[in-house]
Amino acid sequence: MKLDKSTSLFFATKIDSKLREGLALSKPGDKKYFDGSSEEFLRVMEIGDEKDKERWIGKIIKPGPAVTEVDDIQRNVLSILRRIAPNARIPASAVKIFVLQGALASPAVIDDEAEGDDIDAPSGPYITY
């Protein structure tokens, strides 16, 4: 098992018809809140193939946020969504956390599986670079 300390997280909610409508009707000045141009705000990501594509909107968070930050991040995502799509009702439970694959290039992995047969090698968790 490996712990990847380099992969960003995506706090997001699935875009349903009400939210899609709210995003489409948002004011031109509010587009900056979800066009992906700033790390402070939200971005839209697509998952799946053409036949079964899902769109999610959320915020990319750097790896390893403190657990005390999770509620703040969730509230931030919801407050931005309420601003840009006030008619879309989004419960707090709709915000999910995903791992972004390929988000950062330089891995820093904690690996608890011993590699090789070297007897003098330390066993247990260690950080590999």
Instruction: Please state the three-class secondary structure of 57-119 as a single string.
Output: EEEEECCCCCHHHHHHHHHHHHHHHHHHCCCCCCCHHHCEEEECCCCCCCCCEEECCCCCCCC
Q: Transcribe 116-127 into DSSP letters.
A: S--TTS--S-EE
Q: Looking at residue 40, what DSSP letter applies?
A: T
Q: Which of 53, 30, 33, 51 is nearest to 41 (CA)?
A: 33
Mean pLDDT of the region 30-41: 90
User: How many angstroms separate the Cα of 125 from the Cα of each of 99, 103, 106, 111?
Assistant: 22, 24, 19, 6
Strand partners, 109: 4, 128
- Identify the pLDDT of residue 93: 96
- Percentage of the chain lying above the pLDDT 90 cut: 53
Give the number of other Cβ atoms within 10 Å of residue 62's Cβ: 12
Rounded CA separation 6/108 (Å): 6
- pLDDT attached to residue 70: 95
Q: Token digits for 119?
A: 């007897």
Tens-place pLDDT, residues 80-118: 999 999 989 999 999 999 998 865 433 344 444 444 444
